[in-house]
Amino acid sequence: NAGVTQTPKFQVLKTGQSMTLQCAQDMNHNSMYWYRQDPGMGLRLIYYSASEGTTDKGEVPNGYNVSRLNKREFSLRLESAAPSQTSVYFCASNPGTANSYEQYFGPGTRLTVT
């Protein structure tokens, strides 16, 4: 049982390049989330998917797109990377059922945009 997995672990991009961050969970969870973590800012929600087939914007969605490919997988795409998107990105999942508010996190992707 791997939990939440993310690929890649590290990535360096040049400004304007695109990339997709991959996330998968094997816990049969309904809800999945993408966060970014910056020093002193805590975790900020980029996008989330409450259930398969739905996606919604979080606090900081600009510059990102997401795809809920199936129940297991939720990807985050940067179409034209900017230095302001240098961050650590975390994927998380949650059962998405009554009273299930705790989140399960992946190990993160450290992205640098030069």
Partner 1 sequence: AQSVTQPDIHITVSEGASLELRCNYSYGATPYLFWYVQSPGQGLQLLLKYFSGDTLVQGIKGFEAEFKRSQSSFNLRKPSVHWSDAAEYFCAVALSGGSYIPTFGRGTSLIVHP
Which residues of the shown chain bind partner 1 in the complex (CB under 8 A)? 4, 31, 33, 40-43, 45, 48, 50, 58, 90, 92, 94, 96, 99-108
Tell me how far, at minimum, the Cβ of 105 lies from partner 1, in Å.
4
Query: Quick check: 105 and 91 in contact, CB under 8 A?
Result: yes
For the record, the structure tokens of 57 come out as 């914007």
For the record, the structure tokens of 102 come out as 């705790």
Tell me how far, at minimum, the Cβ of 90 lies from partner 1, in Å.
6
The Cβ of residue 45 has, within 10 Å, a number of other Cβ atoms equal to: 16
- Residue 84 CB partners (closer than 8 Å, separation 6+): 63, 113
Give the nearer residue to partner 1 in terms of CB position, either 40 or 53. Answer: 40
Give the nearer residue to partner 1 in terms of CB position, either 15 or 54. Answer: 54
Tell me how far, at minimum, the Cβ of 97 lies from partner 1, in Å.
9
Give the nearer residue to partner 1 in terms of CB position, either 38 or 79. Answer: 38
User: DSSP code of 83?
Assistant: G
